[in-house]
Amino acid sequence: MSRLCRNPLVLVAVGVVVASCNGSVTDSPEDGAAALEDPTQSAAEPVSVESHEGPVTARVELAPAAPRLGDPLVLTLEVTAKTGVTVDMPAFGDALGRFAIIDFTPREAVTDDGVRLSQRYTLQAPMSGRQRIPRLRVEFLDERDPGVDAKPRELLTDELGFVVASVLPADQPLDELRPVRAALVELEGPWLERNWPWLVAALVALIAVAAGVVAWVRRAEERARVTAFDRAMTRLDHLERRGLPAGDAVDAWYVELSDIVRRYIEERFALRAPELTTEEFLVEAGRSAELTAAHRDLLSEFLATCDRVKFARYSPGDDESRSALEVARRFLEESASTPVGEPPDGLEAAA
C-alpha cells in the first residue's frame, strides 16, 4: 500500500468527497415518479367538433383520438333541438362509406327544453395514415312560431380529421423481408385425426357468427326502412297541413313534394343519387328488386308532373295538387309494406 493511503486524514477526506458525490446524483422519489409519467395519456382523450344552426346544435365526437390500425373507432353524433323543432338525423351509414360499420346504436331522449338525439357508430378504418370523418347532414323543421311558414333547413357538421397509426414499428422499412422460418417439426399420427375436435368447434363457431351477422344486417335494414318511411310521412303531413299551393308558392310546394318522395326512395332502397335527373333517377331506382314495374310506372308519372311544374312553368289546379299529394302518400305506404317481388293490390291499376 502506498504512503498516501496509509494516512488517516487522506482516507477521511476521500470518504467525504464520495458521499457528497452520491448525494448530488441521487434523485428524490418525487422526481423519479414524475419521470415515469406517460406523456401519451392525453392521446386517449376523444376529439370533437360542434356546429350550430338556429335552434339546433350538433356535436361529433371520435374516440380514441390517436388510434392504431385495427382499433375500433367510436363515432358519436349528438343533436339537441328546442321544443317545437322536428329533427331528421342522417340515414344509416350516410357519408361513412369509406369505413366498415361494426355496430350502430340510435337513441332519442326528451330534455327540459327540447329533444336530444344521438347516433353511435363503431367503425373500422380501412388503412393507416390521415383519415377524416366527412360532414354529416342534419335536417330540421322549426315550427315554434305558428305565424311563420316553416321551411326545411339543414345543418352540416364540420369535418373531423385524425391520424391512424400503423402497426409496423417506426424504424422498420416497408420493403424489409423477414428471414425464412424454420421448418415445422412433423408430429406423429395423421393431422386430421389429431385436430378434428378443434375443426368441428371452429366450424360451429363460424356458422354461429355468420347467422348472427345475417340477423344483424336484416334488423339494420328493417330499422332503416321504417325510419325512412316515418321521416317521409312526417314531412308529407307537414306539407299537407300548410294547404294546397297557389300563385308563386306552387313551384316551391312541388319541389318539396318531389324531394320527399326522392329522399324516401334513396333511403328506403339504398340509393345515393340526389344530383341525378328524373330519367337517371328512375334508371337507378329500377335496379332495386323491391321496386316493382308498377311502382316505377306510378313514380315516373308522379315525377313527370312535378317536373312540369318546376321546369315548364305549368300551373296546376287544386284538384291536380291534391291528387299529386295522395299519389305520393299511397306510394310511400304501399312501397314500405310490399315484400320483395310482390306488387301491392291496386297499384297496377293506379299506374
> What's the pLDDT score for residue 56?
94
* Residue 205 belongs to a domain: no
Question: What's the grid cell of residue 291?
Answer: 321496386
CB 158 within 8 Å of CB 49: yes
CB 98 within 8 Å of CB 75: no
114: CATH: 2.60.40
**Helix, strand, coil shares of the chain as percentages rounded to 5?**
45, 20, 35
What's the domain count of the chain?
Answer: 2
Report how far residue 268's alpha carbon sits from residue 224's, in angstroms, rounded to the nearest whole number. 7
CB 60 within 8 Å of CB 160: yes
Report how far residue 318's alpha carbon sits from residue 315's, in angstroms, rounded to the nearest whole number. 10
Residues 344 and 228 in one domain: yes
Q: Which one is predicted more confidently, 186 or 287?
A: 287
Report how far residue 172's alpha carbon sits from residue 144's, in angstroms, rounded to the nearest whole number. 61
CB 96 within 8 Å of CB 122: no
* Residue 8 belongs to a domain: no
CB 157 within 8 Å of CB 135: yes
From the list 236, 276, 274, 237, the residue with the least C-alpha distance to 257 is: 236
Chain-centroid distance, C-alpha 259: 23
* Residue 6 belongs to a domain: no
- The strand ranges marked E within the chain are 47-53, 56-63, 73-82, 85-88, 100-111, 114-124, 129-133, 137-142, 153-156, 160-164
Residues 66 and 148 in one domain: yes
List pLDDT tens digits, range 200-239: 889 999 998 988 888 777 766 655 556 888 999 999 999 9
> What's the pLDDT score for residue 120?
93
> What's the pLDDT score for residue 122?
94
Residues 123 and 242 in one domain: no
Domain that holds residue 307: 213-350
Q: In what order do the strands lie in the sheet with 85-88?
A: 85-88, 137-142, 153-156
* Residue 172 belongs to a domain: no
- Average of per-residue pLDDT across 182-201: 72
* Residue 31 belongs to a domain: no
Report how far residue 305's alpha carbon sits from residue 320's, in angstroms, rounded to the nearest whole number. 9
* Residue 187 belongs to a domain: no
Residues 323 and 242 in one domain: yes
Question: What confidence tier does 172 reach under pLDDT thresholds 50, 70, 90?
Answer: low
* Residue 248 belongs to a domain: yes
Report how far residue 97's alpha carbon sits from residue 238's, in angstroms, rounded to the nearest whole number. 31
Q: Tell me: pLDDT of 306 over 70.
A: yes
DSSP state at residue 268: H
Q: Tell me: pLDDT of 90 over 50.
A: yes
